[in-house]
């Protein structure tokens, strides 16, 4: 009888070409996973943000575009989107999302939670048209002073670039918010056969450790803010193109 061959002497199952391809795929996958937290919410205009945009189809397909810094070390308050709908039958329907009673399993609840957080971010951090114009005028005043005092051209160019970036960011944020809030309102109107809809943002604070030790519940209404109305639509405003 022949002695069994030493396992270390057996040839590797994959050839060099296969190993190389698999290594490249694994390296690409790890790079895509890392791009999510590197580009969101803080990213580099010269590197991580352009790379993240290029990898966006993979992020969307594999659900990898996560910014884990959102959850630590201090996640901050949560936000809800409440709605009030008057139906065609004259009934008044009120609700909110995310809603643990409706949105389950947990992954679905998380998706609605991320949607409400996105709406709040756009609502809270996009200035009003009046505030935006005031900011533009402030930069314009700085530019005028720099030119009148004979400042180097680079200084003026930096102020011009800041003004251009402000216009770009404001326009992009405003359009995103409009598309997002109209999409949500349209979905809810169709679901409940509504004629009018009002949307509100609410902020839920996280209780302090001392409050939790004292018996406070996470859903205590004391930690919920007063609703802030963010939009109101009629059915014709949302579905005018379809009705024509």
pLDDT value for 198: 96
The per-residue DSSP string of 86-152 comes to EETTS-EEEEEES-TTTS-SHHHHHHHHHHHHHHHHHHHHSPPHHHHHHHHHHHHHHHHHHHHTT--
* Contact (Cβ atoms closer than 8 angstroms) between residue 82 and residue 94: yes
Residues 18, 60, 164, 134: is their CA dihedral positive or negative?
A: negative
DSSP state for residue 224 in the 8-state scheme: B
Average pLDDT estimate for 62-88 = 77
Q: Which residues pair with 80 in a beta bridge?
A: 202
Report pLDDT digits (tens) over 165-184: 999 999 999 999 999 999 99
> Which of the four pLDDT bands, split at 50, 70 and 90, describes residue 65?
low
User: What does the DSSP 8-state code read for residue 14?
Assistant: S
At 55 the pLDDT is: 80
Cα(161)–Cα(159) distance, rounded to whole angstroms? 5
Residues 179 and 218 in one domain: yes
Lowest mean pLDDT among 52-56, 91-95, 134-138: 52-56
* Tens digits of residue pLDDT in 203-224: 998 888 888 888 888 788 888 8
Main-chain phi, psi angles of 5, to 5 degrees: -65, 145
Q: How far apart are the first and last CA of the chain?
A: 88
Residue 3 lies in a domain: no
pLDDT value for 82: 94
Q: Which residue has the higher pLDDT, 10 or 63?
A: 63
Region 46-55: mean pLDDT is 80
What pLDDT does 49 receive? 78
User: Do 66 and 105 share a domain, yes or no?
Assistant: no
d(CA 110, CA 114): 6
Which band of pLDDT confidence, cut at 50, 70 and 90, is reported for residue 27? very high
**Neighbour count for residue 168 (Cβ, 10 Å):** 10
Mean pLDDT of 131-155: 91
Beta bridge partners of 231: 199
Close Cβ partners of 169 (under 8 Å, ≥ 6 residues apart): none
Q: For residue 196, is pLDDT > 90?
A: yes
The verdict on residue 7 lying in a domain is no
Same domain? For 63 and 127 the reply is: no
Residue 239 lies in a domain: yes
On whether the CB atoms of residues 39 and 170 are closer than 8 A, the answer is no
105-130 pLDDT, tens digit each? 888 888 899 899 999 988 888 888 99
Same domain as 82, residue 33: no
Q: Do 140 and 224 have their domain in common?
A: yes
4 domain-assigned: no
Domain contains 6: no
Which structural domain range is residue 145 located in?
76-243
Please tell me whether residues 109 and 230 are part of one structural domain. Answer: yes
Total number of residues shown for the chain: 244
What is the rounded average pLDDT of the residues 230-239? 92
User: Are 80 and 123 within 8 A, CB to CB?
Assistant: no
Q: How confident is the model at residue 142 (pLDDT cuts 50, 70, 90)?
A: very high
Single out the residue in 51, 75, 99 at which a domain terminates: 75
Q: How many domains does the chain have?
A: 2
């Amino acid at each position: 009888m022949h002695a069994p061959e030493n396992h270390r002497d057996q040839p590797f199952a994959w050839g060099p070409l296969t190993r190389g391809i698999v290594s490249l795929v694994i390296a690409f996958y790890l790079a895509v996973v890392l791009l999510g937290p590197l580009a969101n919410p803080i990213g580099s205009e010269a590197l991580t943000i352009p790379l993240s945009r290029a990898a966006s189809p993979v992020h969307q397909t594999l659900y990898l575009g996560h910014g884990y810094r959102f959850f630590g070390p201090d996640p901050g308050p949560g936000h809800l989107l409440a709605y009030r709908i008057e139906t065609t039958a004259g009934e008044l329907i009120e609700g909110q999302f995310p809603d643990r009673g409706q949105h389950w399993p947990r992954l679905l609840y998380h998706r609605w939670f991320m949607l409400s957080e996105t709406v709040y971010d756009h609502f809270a951090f996009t200035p009003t048209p009046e505030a935006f114009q005031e900011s533009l005028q402030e930069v314009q005043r700085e530019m005028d002073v720099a030119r009148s005092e004979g400042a180097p051209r680079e200084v003026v160019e930096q102020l011009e670039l800041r003004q251009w970036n402000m216009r770009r960011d404001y326009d992009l944020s405003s359009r995103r918010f409009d598309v997002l809030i109209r999409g949500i309102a349209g979905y809810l109107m169709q679901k409940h056969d509504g004629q009018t809809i009002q949307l509100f943002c609410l902020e839920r604070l996280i209780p302090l450790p001392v409050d939790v030790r004292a018996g406070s519940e996470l859903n205590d209404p004391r930690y919920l803010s007063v609703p802030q109305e963010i939009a109101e639509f009629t059915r014709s405003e949302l579905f005018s193109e379809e009705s024509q």
